[in-house]
Structure 1
Amino acid sequence: MTVVAYVVGAILAVAAACALYRAARGPSILDRVLALDVVLAIIGAALATRMVVTGNLDNLVFLVVASVVGFIGSVTVARFVTDRK
């Protein structure tokens, strides 16, 4: 189980680095918002992985709140960009 946790952590770290690169270099605001939404999903996946490995559910509330905030933020930006055009 420890090896799997390290492999998942490495994959999530590479994915987060790629998403942060896209957020920094994205040509449009939508690219940046999508990349930051992916980073938030990666953080959620890391929290879920930690909860599975340790066996406690201390971060479950934070996971749910972060997911809701990410969804609301993405919808808000999408509506803002749609109204601008």
Structure 2
Amino acid sequence: MITLACQIALVAIGLSVVLNVYRIVAGPDVLDRILALDTMVINAIALIVVIAMLFEAPTYFEAALLFAMVGFLTTVSFCKYLLRGNVIE
């Protein structure tokens, strides 16, 4: 039962990644592209967690946590760059 749920989740997350790629390519504004990239990071984290549940491998959860921290930092640095023009003051 859990295998079927993980497969359905993988399909749904894959579809959302495709929609995020469309928003990155066709986004009318830079902010829309940054938000789509941040959403893609969240989808990638979800993908890693679902794969970890599917294969019963606990090391993937640590990778998802590291990916979440890096994704947060990149989103903050993109936004800071758009507001101020530089990242490091």
Q: TM-score, normalised by structure 2?
A: 0.84
Larger relative CO (CA 8 A, sep 6+): 1 or 2?
Answer: 1
Percent identical:
20
Runs of 4+ that moved beyond 6 A: none
Aligned residue for 1:27, secondary structure, equals coil
Gaps of at least 5 residues in structure 2 are none
Counterpart residue number, 1:50: 51
CA-CA distance at 1:37 after TM superposition: 1.2
Gaps of at least 5 residues in structure 1 are none
Structure 2 distance, partners of 1:58, 1:27, is 38
| Farther off after superposition, 75-84 or 62-71 | 75-84
Counterpart residue number, 2:38: 37
| Aligned residues: CA RMSD | 1.3
Q: TM-score, normalised by structure 1?
A: 0.88
